[in-house]
Amino acid sequence: MKKYQNRQYAVLGLGIFGSTVAKTLSKYNAEVIAVDIDQKCVNRMADVVTQAMQCDITDIDQLRAAGIQDCDVAVVSMGNHLEQSVMAIINLKELGIPYIVAKAKNKRYMQIFSKIGANKVVRPEKEMGEQVAKGILGKNIIDIIDLDSEYSVVEIPAPKEWTGKTLIDLNLRRKYGINVIGIRNHVTGDLNVCPEPECTIEKDDHIVLIADGDAINKFDNMID
């Protein structure tokens, strides 16, 4: 995998959310410093990230000793603990971290974290709940990502009648107003991004497309 060089990431708090962020960053060979007050959490991540340390994130001197000031991005993942998260964000700002992501448990926490300097605030439970709901609204939708209020990226199984046909043959943009941006191989799971017009659909392939809501609903209802 590509190594994200010259960028360092810090993850503060190693619960389920924080450890998942740290593991995913490490999966892409990013340099990650992961810290938590609980030594057991630190031990679980020791062989996963670049550096795992026990640290009180409300103590700026301990963060500095961990090397957090050298990071380009920091993730504050204790969204249920207001005081700790606030102190962590303030400390990160003082350390000069360019980009801070914070987890929040509700709208009020989001407002507070944004006001004190978090560049991005996320509510994973809310966002995942919305994602699950959107995924089950359509009978054939495997995954959906909203780009804005109108357009979405959707992954669907290719209809059986598409097997053996090329994108040119299907002419999906003219017929349905959708644009195919990827084809996922049914055997390997690999995604062919921006497939050529001559690309042939194989049995059980998945199609990744972009379209507006009306086109997606119409197309979803058309598929058996």
Q: What are the helix (H) ranges across the chain?
A: 16-27, 39-45, 60-65, 82-94, 107-115, 124-137, 167-170, 172-176, 213-222
CA–CA gap between residue 45 and residue 26 (Å, rounded): 10
Would you call 173 helix, strand, or coil by DSSP?
Answer: helix
Pick the CATH number of 8-122 from 1.20.140.10, 3.40.50.2300, 3.20.19.10, 3.40.50.720: 3.40.50.720
Computed over every residue of the chain, the mean pLDDT equals 91
Asked if pLDDT for residue 136 goes beyond 80, the answer is no
pTM for the predicted model, two decimal places: 0.75
Which pLDDT value is given to residue 8?
A: 95
Kindly report, as residue ranges, where domains of CATH 3.40.50.720 are found in the chain: 8-122
Which fold, 128-222? Alpha-Beta Plaits (3.30.70)
Which of 39-43, 45-49, 106-110, 184-188 has the least mean pLDDT?
184-188
What is the band of 216 on the pLDDT scale with cuts at 50, 70, 90? confident
Which residue type does 165 have? K
Left (φ > 0), alpha (ψ -120 to 50) or beta: where does 141 sit?
beta
- Give the H/E segment covering residue 52: strand 51-54
What is the band of 5 on the pLDDT scale with cuts at 50, 70, 90? low
Which pLDDT value is given to residue 66?
A: 96
Kindly report, as residue ranges, where domains of CATH 3.30.70.1450 are found in the chain: 128-222
